[in-house]
Amino acid sequence: MDKQYLSLIYKFFLVWSVSLNFLLFSLVISRNSELSWSKKAAAEAEAAASVSCSGHGRAYIDGFVLDGGKPVCECNGCYAGHDCSEVIPDCIADADSGNPTFLEPFWRKNAASSAIMVAGWHRMGYEFEDGSLTSKELEKQIRKLHATAGNAITDGKYIVFGGGSTQLLSAAVNALSSKVSSSPTKVVASVPYYPVYKSQTELFKSMNFNFSGDTMSWKRSSNSSMNFIEFVTSPNNPDGQLKTAILRGPNAKQIHDLAYYWPHYTSIPSPIDEDLMIFTLSKLTGHAGSRLGWAIIKDKNVYDRMVNYIDLNTYGIARETQLRALKLLNVALQGDGRNFFDFGHETMKLRWQKLRKILSASSKRFSIQELKPHYCTFSSEIRSPAPAFAWIKCNEEEENDCHAVLRAAKILGRRGRVFGASSSYVRLSLVNSQDEFNQLMHKLEMLVFEEATNSVVEFTLGDSEMRNRYYVPRNGTSASGKDSCESIEMAQINSQTCAAQ
């Protein structure tokens, strides 16, 4: 055998031996990394997620299950049937609740990175290892999130978690109220205000504080010896306005409720640097059911009093919630938050464009809040606000119960009176699921169309080209398509049919 042949055999055996070793090594590694106890839970979660609900619902592991153990579809409003494929005729568009499910598609798209597995033995004790009730990792992530969004200064400040921001609102009132004054601290908010400020303060009313109505009515007294706690909500619920404190002076303290101060809903002109700021996961990621809020506090004494309140009230927040929030914020922060905040902002922007287009076809019967664009430091552009709620006003004198006007058109909003405003206002939620938003737009379109044509209309969802054929004039005589295109408003609504004539 010559030397060249021997070298070839040697090379062959060398490659063979390396490959065999690599194969064996890979087998050992894959065996070691194979899932064990979490496998069944993962399969269960995927099985529920794979139940088909026609895009109009979803099935949950903790939902109702059939005999075979298969989870049942829970349908969006106005949809029914075992797979949510049936449209409920004549259904009411529910725009009452501020359930922020508009973000669900983002979390479905990011299902793998946002899922958590909770072992049966996960953090069973009352406290974390360091004796505290809060995850230091989550606190770190929250500080990073505010720095990324540029919406609040957290440096040198304390953070306390609450069961949603709802729990923190009352913890803050308790902590800021004077314990030494002869008269109770007056808790105030600017009309229109988030109704929980009033109802919660009244429920927990004590010798130290009581609810005293609209901030404006106390403006002149703010430099007196009276003590005030002012709720400042920015952007405001219900009207989306950016707000600042009205009462000033040594006896006026503020609770800044910044639930909606995120790039989904508003431009971020600058980071807020107030003594007491409250945020919530509910309106940030949409996970209202997880019940997590946090307060950012400057003063150690106020922080201690709020911690004491939470300790005595619930002894902290569920570890499962903190774990989930940590995972969700990790995903939200990927790519400097661009994907997440862009999704939120784009969705809300498109919804506002649609709403404005429909209402622009109305005469002066309905109006909507005016909102000013501002420079947004997060997106480095001038942005129009796209708040969570439309604050609708019925302008005609005989329609001073706006809730009833909309209710007659099968639209369920929240009465202006609930927010301390007049009954000619109604709040419509724009943060619900796409189905709910579509139903709302559909009913509004019918209402506006009806006004423009002075007729009663009935057409089905998404059926714009059928409008002319379906509408019945109020005076009982039949209206031709030509009539309906003669007014500018009608031509706008009915652009397809009018353009064809």
Please report, as ranges, the residues that interact with ligand PLP according to CB under 6 A: 98, 164-166, 194, 233, 237, 257, 259, 280, 282, 288, 293
Q: Count CB neighbours of 211 within 10 A.
A: 20
Question: To the nearest whole angstrom, how small is the minimum distance from the Cβ of residue 245 to ligand PLP?
Answer: 16
- Strand, coil or helix: what is 356? helix
d(C-alpha 169, C-alpha 174), whole Å: 9
57 or 293, CB closer to ligand PLP? Answer: 293
Question: To the nearest whole angstrom, how small is the minimum distance from the Cβ of residue 237 to ligand PLP?
Answer: 4
Question: To the nearest whole angstrom, how small is the minimum distance from the Cβ of residue 325 to ligand PLP?
Answer: 12
280 or 285, CB closer to ligand PLP? Answer: 280
The answer to whether the CB of 133 falls within 8 A of the CB of 421 is: no
The answer to whether the CB of 91 falls within 8 A of the CB of 85 is: no
C-alpha closest to that of 155 among 165, 164, 146, 163: 146
C-alpha closest to that of 185 among 194, 175, 193: 175
282 or 468, CB closer to ligand PLP? Answer: 282
247 or 295, CB closer to ligand PLP? Answer: 295
Question: To the nearest whole angstrom, how small is the minimum distance from the Cβ of residue 257 to ligand PLP?
Answer: 5
Q: What stretch of H or E contains 1?
A: none
71 or 413, CB closer to ligand PLP? Answer: 413
Q: Count CB neighbours of 35 within 10 A.
A: 11
C-alpha closest to that of 399 among 418, 417, 424: 424
Judging by DSSP bridges, how do beta strands 209-214 and 185-189 pair with one another?
parallel
d(C-alpha 420, C-alpha 285), whole Å: 28
Question: To the nearest whole angstrom, how small is the minimum distance from the Cβ of residue 388 to ligand PLP?
Answer: 7
d(C-alpha 437, C-alpha 389), whole Å: 12
165 or 497, CB closer to ligand PLP? Answer: 165
Question: To the nearest whole angstrom, how small is the minimum distance from the Cβ of residue 276 to ligand PLP?
Answer: 14
448 CB burial (10 A radius; 0-12, 13-18, 19+): buried
Q: Between the CA of residue 448 and those of 216, 369, 403, 438, 456, what are the distances in Å?
A: 35, 17, 16, 15, 10
243 or 365, CB closer to ligand PLP? Answer: 243
Question: To the nearest whole angstrom, how small is the minimum distance from the Cβ of residue 190 to ligand PLP?
Answer: 12
Which 8-state DSSP code applies to residue 312? H
Question: To the nearest whole angstrom, how small is the minimum distance from the Cβ of residue 188 to ligand PLP?
Answer: 15
- Strand, coil or helix: what is 110? coil
71 or 416, CB closer to ligand PLP? Answer: 416
